[in-house]
Structure 1
Amino acid sequence: MSLVKAATAAVAMAASMAIATPAVAAPPHPFVFVHDNFQPASQAKGAGAVTYDKSLVPTSASVFIAEARVGGKGMEHHESPSGGAQHGEHSGTFVFLSLRGVAADHHFGIHVHTKPCGAKPDESGPHYQNTKDPKQPSTNPKYANPHNEVWLDLTTNSAGKGYSKAWVKWHFRSGQARSVVIHKHATATSGKAGEAGARVACINVPFK
């Protein structure tokens, strides 16, 4: 857990340094930081973050996301027989997310997805999975769970602010995790596991 605490501290420091004007940056590997305001879906082609439901995620809202990769010689990775990227015992990926100006007192389901954001909600593809479910869309809790995917569910306060963090014991496969999608409801853990209702917003993130 000390590695997780260290990653948390690094991300918190980066968040405190985020400037007021939204921007997207790609600091030296193995960190990624994204800070942006949401734009209308019609502007998805050039926007860093888009909203599909302005009642829940208005264009005045902002988002900050950070990724920190821990462990692995030179941050290199290899594929496991199941298709997931595997690493040493003390390595993995830490993701932090903060929202401001979204709907107050609301629980959002939030996950890392495989494709960039588009003008249409479904263009961001399915959830990124370390071990891919052979049946898609994936609703099997064996695959659709917070250990095999990155879940960042959060509940906002009365001011429409909230944050969440996730730690997984693996690294993303290069180029296969491209966005974070905000869903309307909390993420289901049984039945149709991983489902969280309509996609209400999307943020492009160049995960390492």
Structure 2
Amino acid sequence: MRIVPLALAAAALPALWPAEAAAAPAVHVGVGTSVVRYNTALVPEGATARAFTASATGTLTALSVRGLLPGREYGAHVHTKPCGASPSDSGPHYQHVPDPVQPSADPAYANPSNEIWLDFTTTANGSGFAVSHVDWTYGDRLPGSVVIHETHTHTDPGHAGTAGGRLACLNLEFGPPGR
């Protein structure tokens, strides 16, 4: 396995997608680097994270973290709203087909095909990386953030999509379509 810096991977994405993706009129690219920390015990001072999401013929999202607790499982998801002072400000998980019942815990809606799940386990030095690819695009409804949660994501009915408390958040900044 070859580790590639996130910025380099982002620059290479157009070459990895089909030619029609580069010409698609609704290509959205979002980047998040500024971390809002809600839990300093599980996301210590100095921890960093970067998120990248690109939506063209599908949606590819990557999350890279450093300085978290070593050897620990974390969950992460794309959320509908930007980060705020309160962990709940980022809203629910972004769902391609929104569940009419919120918060969503129905596996028909809260699943890695309808949401963007970025669960990871940190290495011995507290670093982690996750990638998600889904077949759908954001269209006109862009997400606001990536939230890091305290556990890997649950899949059982009644708990599907849940991953414990919100530990940290990264705002996604989108450029103009076709950037």
Bucket of the pairwise TM-score, normalised by the shorter protein = 0.7 to 0.9
Indicate conservation of the 8 Å contact 2:35/2:168, yes or no. yes
- In 2, distance between residues paired with 1:33 and 1:58? 22
CA displacement at 1:51 relative to structure 2: 0.6
Give 1:174's aligned amino acid: D
Look up the match of 1:50. Answer: 36
% identity of equivalent residues: 45
Q: Give the counterpart of 1:101 among 67, 72, 86.
A: 67
Supply the distance in 2 between the matched residues of 1:197 and 1:174 (Cα, whole angstroms).
Answer: 29
Q: Distance in 2 between matches of 1:110 and 1:64?
A: 12
Q: Is the 8 A contact 2:78 2:146 kept in 1?
A: yes
The answer to whether structure 1 residue 185 and structure 2 residue 159 are counterparts is: no
Change (3 A) 1:128 1:144: same
User: What does residue range 75-154 of structure 1 map to in structure 2 within 5 Å?
Assistant: 91-154=57-120
Q: Deviations over 1:112-149 (max 9, x none)?
A: 00011011111110000000111111000000000000
Aligned pair count reads 157
User: d(CA) in 2 for partners of 1:100 and 1:170?
Assistant: 29
1:34 to 17, 32, 35: 32
Instruction: Tell me how large the CA RMSD over aligned residues is.
Output: 2.3
Provide the rounded CA distance (Å) in 2 between the counterparts of 1:168 and 1:117.
23
CA distance in 1, matches of 2:54, 2:32: 12
* TM-score, length basis structure 2: 0.80
Structure 1 residue 69, shift from structure 2 partner: 2.4
- TM-score normalized by the length of structure 1: 0.69
Q: Distance in 1 between matches of 2:10 and 2:50?
A: 7
Distance 1:130 1:187, change over 3 A: same
Deviation at 1:176, TM superposition (A): 3.7
Residue equivalent to 2:170: 203
1:126–1:175 CA distance, 2 compared to 1 (3 A): same
Q: Does the 8 Å contact 1:153/1:186 carry over to 2?
A: yes
Q: Note if 1:162 corresponds to 2:128.
A: yes
Higher RCO, Cα 8 Å, sep 6+? 2
CA distance in 1, matches of 2:171, 2:31: 11
Gaps in structure 2 of 5+ consecutive residues: 12-26
What is the DSSP-based 3-state SS (H/G/I as helix, E as strand, rest coil) of the residue aligned with 2:173? coil
* Distance in 2 between residues matched to 1:204 and 1:34, nearest whole Å: 5
